Structure 1
Amino acid sequence: MFIDYYETLEIGPNANSETIDRVFRYFAMRFHPDNRGTGDETRFSEIVEAHNTLKEPAKRAQYDIQYRENLKLRCELVEEITGNKGIEREVVTQAKVLSLLYVKRRQDVNSPGIGDTELERISGCPREHLEFHLWYLKAKGWIGRTENGTFAITVEGIDRASSEYRREPTVKLLDHDLHSA
């Protein structure tokens, strides 16, 4: 797990070595285990680790590469939340997976499952994203694994897919009625 040493020392990534040392000394005195008022051994260890990494130029350069990678991942998470890749798209993907498994079950009740690779190919959702949806749908009890390891829709999943299908036209009809008025 990545630890943000800049955050640990409450400094910015452009802080110079003097600032790093000054802030380290302040926190080291404050959180040293011998300090009866504010001592915190865990926090002290974190501060020492951060200081030891950031004070040495070679270690800091290596750490900064990891820091930028982590920062990029955090930015991607924020973009996914605020951009057009948000929860709405996730709901559509889950509905698509349920629909695929629904049709497969309806076509062949005795062999209702679709394998991971086939589900990835048909849904157009990459495996790393599909894993989340499969986990969620399984946790809700809407899909499950068959005896041969493929995914199949459950009775609860069929009920869910049916209820979503029945609700959608009603919502569109209500929306149309509101705009007509």
Structure 2
Amino acid sequence: MTTLLVAHGTRNPRGVAMIGDLAHAMSQRLRDEVRVGFVDVLGPDPAEAISGIRGTDPVRVVPAFLASGYHVHSDLPRYLHQTPRPTLLSAPLGPDAALADAMVARLLVAGWQPGDEVVMAAAGSRDLRAQGDVAAMGRLLSQRVGAPVRIGFVIPAVDGSGYPPVADVVAAARAQS
């Protein structure tokens, strides 16, 4: 069965390459073809990507999102309804204990030591489901580092909903250190 990895999309070539690397790693692990589609910024969109897959077997769709916000609940289903091909939609990647473990591994590579402050940066969303997933991810990470984890949004909502900007959270953490 072919898998379609669906990401947000970015104009940053490193971000596009990272999604390609993730798709390649998934392909190796699944021992099957993994294609890529994007819900925003660039193409192909999920419907276009699915239309380029040969055959009539269902396509497994994996949202490469760390929370189940607007893109997972609105954009992606809209694209999947545009294709007559049967699809099997998985849950987004997070929140998940394996992601918390990967975050700790990245913290260690960056030089983190127990007792150091941890700020988790999330993309940002007004969607309450996404905010709940971010909070759950923060709790998972907190359990692993043995201390509270502060959360900030990279792109905070203009209406002030959700988490504060990452820069503000980092400044507050530094001020209390």
Flag the structure with more relative contact order, 1 or 2, with Cα contacts below 8 A and sequence separation at least 6. 2
Do Structure 1 and Structure 2 share a fold, with TM-score over 0.5? no
TM-score, normalised relative to structure 1: 0.21
Answer 1 or 2: which has greater helix percent: 1
Of structures 1 and 2, the larger Rg is shown by 1
Name the one with the larger strand percent: 2
